[in-house]
Structure 1
């Protein structure tokens, strides 16, 4: 009589995918770290809240995937995404942010990211997104995929981009900071640019948004920021 043997596969023999976390809130990073280490097929490669340190740390850690927040106190997440994509083309990037998906999802994909998840989503959605991206797929919410597909095939009646959508990544960044009450010099210092360069961006914004003067630009930017924050 033959016997059937079953081989036990220990979780330790699994090939774990390494995840690096970039978020400037320590509590959020801790939450992601616990979530990742609770997965049998994942491990934490490292974490930081500093955009300036991120590139060096990613180079040393060599993760399979980076979880990246767009809002970083020490830098711009969108620009960091572009830099990661340029320097580490084999590293997947999944953006996790509170920013409006309809405004930022396409931007992060153009910047080299492999997906976008809103922070308001349940943790199971985040893990689902991580696994899809690690599997070589792009991840967007069903709503955003439908929106992009509808636009791509030119369905009649679909609303075109708003003027805000037509801003460059840097113009949008300056616009947001104007709306947050920052002065030209403060924006320049925050972005590492000259005040003269910021003034040029302000002129571009007025032209693209069809605004007559700086007062209208500030009013429009403040209203937009408050509207996005639900205030």
Structure 2
């Protein structure tokens, strides 16, 4: 049973790729998101590029900051070339914010700064996808 999941989000046809070298971060993000959106965790960008061919393109890519630290901000352009229209969020520690800012200047759409919480991660992904908050509640007895 999914608790705290809005039905319209659970049947959303969009998907998220979590690409991070840190297995624990990947697993945590996948766990936080999988109830509301199709989520795939991958250890490398090559895996993401391979999985994202054809119909399985991501709508959002959560990118571990370590990739930017190793390959530079030009990596954002490479990702955009492979996945046109993808929204990129950089996952980082507070100490890595300068690298994340460089990535945002290069075209990333935002950052998820640790510590990660269920609410903050879901809210950020919803915002980046243009999904609003919860659907309005219909009170029983008010319907006619």
Please report the TM-score for the alignment, with normalisation by the length of structure 2: 0.69
Change (3 A) 1:92 1:12: closer
Match of 1:107 among 102, 106, 109: 102
Pairing 1:25–2:19 present: no
Q: Identify unmatched segments of 5+ residues in structure 2.
A: 1-6, 132-144
Secondary structure in 1 matching 2:58? coil
Q: CA deviation at 1:12?
A: 8.9
Q: How does 1:55-134 map to 2 (within 5 A)?
A: 55-60=49-54, 61-72=56-67, 76=71, 78-98=73-93, 100=95, 102-134=97-129
Q: CA deviation at 1:132?
A: 1.1
* 2: CA distance, partners of 1:14 / 1:135: 15
* 1: CA distance, partners of 2:10 / 2:24: 31
Q: CA deviation at 1:58?
A: 2.6
Q: Which residue of 2 aligns with 1:37?
A: 34
Q: For the Cα contact (< 8 Å) 1:97–1:119, is it kept in 2?
A: yes
Bigger Rg over Cα: 1
Secondary structure in 2 matching 1:20? strand
Secondary structure in 2 matching 1:47? strand
* 2: CA distance, partners of 1:96 / 1:28: 9
Query: Alignment RMSD, CA only?
Result: 2.8
The Cα offsets for residues 119-166 of structure 1, whole Å up to 9 and x where unpaired, read as 224231121111111119xxxxxxxxxxxxxxxxxxxxxxxxxxxxxx
Richer in helix (by share): 1
Q: Which residue of 2 aligns with 1:54?
A: 48
Q: For the Cα contact (< 8 Å) 1:70–1:77, is it kept in 2?
A: no
Change (3 A) 1:51 1:98: same
* 2: CA distance, partners of 1:79 / 1:27: 26
Q: Which has the higher contact order (CA 8 A, sep 6+)?
A: 2
* 1: CA distance, partners of 2:23 / 2:117: 19
